[in-house]
Structure 1
Amino acid sequence: MKRFLGLLIGVSVLLGNNPANADEINCGSLHNGFGPYDFRYQFGEPKRLVESAHFPPYVESLLRGRTADAVGGDIDYTLRAFPNHHRALLSMMNLATRERTGKPPGSRFSVECWLDRAERFAPDDGMVKVLWATWLIKQGNKAEAEEKLAAGIKQAPEMNTNFDYSVGLAYFDLKRYDLALAAAHRAYRGGFPLPGLKQKLMKAGQWRDPPPLPAPTQTPDNVANESQEKTAPTPSAE
């Protein structure tokens, strides 16, 4: 009996000193038979194999499964191979919302666990934190959502319109319209094609056209080049 109690105390101390172990017990180890791979940096054969076999467009759109009866099973496989697969995380979140459950059919983990696993696997991935903030907003936990969103923005990738658009949607749902508008301007200036965020802001009476970009700074070299262009002879029509 004393030995048993000693083991319990040892386990408790170990978990208390290492929160990641507690997360692993609750949400599973990241070890996987295939991968795991970082979604941001994997563009070769592993990504092609997983997405073609388990995450084709109709799975991403939640229309039907490919290798599993429940579409959640294929998304589950994708997220075990690519824990921070942004689109697969979003699909799992959408599936949970549609099914009105935190743990969708076919998924071995809850949405919270998939997000926890993604953050453990890629703690520097700002998009994971933005997706987590989006999920927290849907659950009504706006205070924690703002913290996750702020943490994600600190890790923002350079020149990523999808990231800016997602940030804008999250801030819109938090009714932080000034920040949503700024993110929308960044996304659309970079060429993001979907008009949804702009339409939301317009409907809320919060849309403003972005200010014009500043004119390029005139340098002596620029002025000299312009002068040469103006004085260059016109090509002959012959």
Structure 2
Amino acid sequence: MDRLSIIGLFLALLSLVGGSILKGAGLSSLWSPAAFVIVIVGTLAAILLHTSPAVFKHAFKIVRWVVKPPVSDRRALIQQIVDWSNIARRQGLLGLEPQVEMQDDAFIRKGLQLVVDGVEPDTIRHMMEIELGSQEQQDLAATKVFEGMGIYAPTLGIIGAVLGLIAVMKNLADPSKLGHGIAAAFTATIYGIASANLLFLPVSAKLKGVIAHTTREREMVIEGLIAIAQGENPRNIENSLAGFVN
């Protein structure tokens, strides 16, 4: 569980609600059905036009990583790779075959199977790097969904404000409606800027960080599997992979 993300989401909400109360605007000023439709629904419409169905679906599949990123323990993974190396030295590469089905991670399972099958180290590297690059590209494309929403939302907020001011201009003859109308118009701007800078763009940046961390970890796995396939000494493997921990 990523506590910083949870704290960040809480503080984002607190900054809006608390700021509105401290400024004397009150909570009611933050609610506007018209602004919600123009900004939030409009942003969703824009990103649906912007994105392919597969990428959109994947984006909302990985968004949970903001609060609950994939479990990562590089030291334990290095130890596991060293254990595999010891098994390979004692029993040969075929001795690793029972380990393949024990792996929950499909990427590790595929790489270990290639080692067991006796595939040449260069070929293993080539195949695994293609697999890694493909997954990374897919994940990064998903982060652009939230990045795009962060770009569209402020503009739609301005559109909402303009539409609100147009409605105010139509009621110039009735001064009692001007103050409320202008306040409602600027609520759309708040929706657009706040959602972009307190939610959409931070979520995109957080996901990119998680993806970069996962990619680096998988690069470590590739190096470890290549070393096993080349018959490297387990102690040397451990020492070479230690650099990935920091």
TM-score normalised per structure 2: 0.21
Q: Which has the larger radius of gyration?
A: 2
TM value normalised by structure 1:
0.21
Greater share of helix residues, 1 or 2? Answer: 2
Q: Which has the higher contact order (CA 8 A, sep 6+)?
A: 2
